[in-house]
């Protein structure tokens, strides 16, 4: 199992002067510190790859022991191209990838690891208008994923797993994405070509993407509780 953390973006919506993943939480750790602490319950530090771009030196100085992949077009590309760069480094093993702005309970990772198929962590209790949503076929397999799903089952939370057998297909679809596409577009492209990806419900756990200040306030209250 390898881990890819996507932390190349500028994070302009949160408006911090540093990479969003270095934002401090109410538990005294940064978002990435929180992520790595959770991940080290399941993998070794050598298994963690971080895709960096914006002010990469700040992240690299804070976490010198992980491996790094550089997205030199971080200011003009989206997460599809960051994930493409990361997956090229780890093509022969199962991979969990995580947006660098997600605050999550370590049990989210446990649930993804226990699922033998490619999968997507989802929240079935909240369906935000601006969030990536999903729908299922009659067999419980995701057959639609985007921000425009009309009758969604829930929303994706930015943590996913691809098994080794599915990586080559996902790489092809990531390569076909536009520079501005989120990685979910590659999943959408891959579904008609045979990718089977199942939802893993983590609605009962802390798992929040920090896009805006109100997200940060909410998750900090959860961490205090």
Domain boundaries, the chain: 2-224
Local structure of residue 97 (DSSP, 8 states): E
CATH topology of domain 2-224: Spore Coat Polysaccharide Biosynthesis Protein SpsA; Chain A (3.90.550)
pTM of the model: 0.95
3-state secondary structure of 160: strand
pLDDT tens sequence for the chain (225 residues): 999 999 999 877 777 789 999 999 999 999 999 999 999 999 999 999 999 999 999 999 999 999 999 999 999 999 999 999 999 998 789 999 999 999 999 999 999 999 999 999 999 997 877 789 999 999 999 999 999 998 999 999 999 999 999 999 999 999 999 999 999 999 999 999 999 999 999 999 999 999 889 999 999 999 988
Q: Identify the pLDDT of residue 219.
A: 93
Between the CA atoms of 204, 208, 212 and 217, what dihedral angle is there, to the nearest 10 degrees? 60
Q: Identify the pLDDT of residue 16.
A: 79
Q: Identify the pLDDT of residue 65.
A: 97
The whole-angstrom distance between residue 134's C-alpha and the CA centroid of its chain comes to 15
């Amino acid at each position: 199992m390898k881990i890819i953390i996507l932390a190349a973006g500028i994070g302009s919506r949160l408006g911090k002067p540093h990479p969003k993943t270095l934002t401090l939480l109410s538990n005294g750790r940064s978002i990435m510190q929180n992520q790595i602490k959770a991940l080290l319950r399941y993998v070794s530090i050598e298994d963690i790859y971080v895709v960096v771009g914006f002010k990469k030196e700040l992240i690299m100085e804070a976490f010198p022991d992980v491996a790094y992949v550089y997205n030199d077009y971080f200011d003009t590309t989206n997460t599809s191209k960051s994930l493409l760069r990361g997956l090229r480094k780890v093509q022969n093993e199962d991979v969990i990838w995580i947006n660098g702005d997600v605050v999550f309970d370590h049990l989210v990772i446990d649930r993804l690891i226990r699922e033998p198929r490619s999968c997507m962590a989802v929240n079935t209790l909240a369906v935000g208008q601006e969030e990536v949503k999903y729908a299922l076929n009659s067999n419980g397999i995701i057959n639609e994923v985007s921000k425009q799903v009309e009758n969604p089952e829930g929303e994706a939370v930015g943590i996913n797993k691809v098994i080794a057998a599915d990586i080559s297909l996902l790489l092809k679809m990531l390569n076909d994405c536009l520079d501005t596409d989120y990685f979910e577009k590659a999943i959408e492209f891959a579904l008609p070509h045979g990718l089977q990806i199942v939802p893993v419900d983590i609605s009962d756990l802390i798992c929040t993407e920090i896009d805006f200040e109100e997200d940060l306030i909410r998750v900090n209250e959860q961490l205090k509780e």
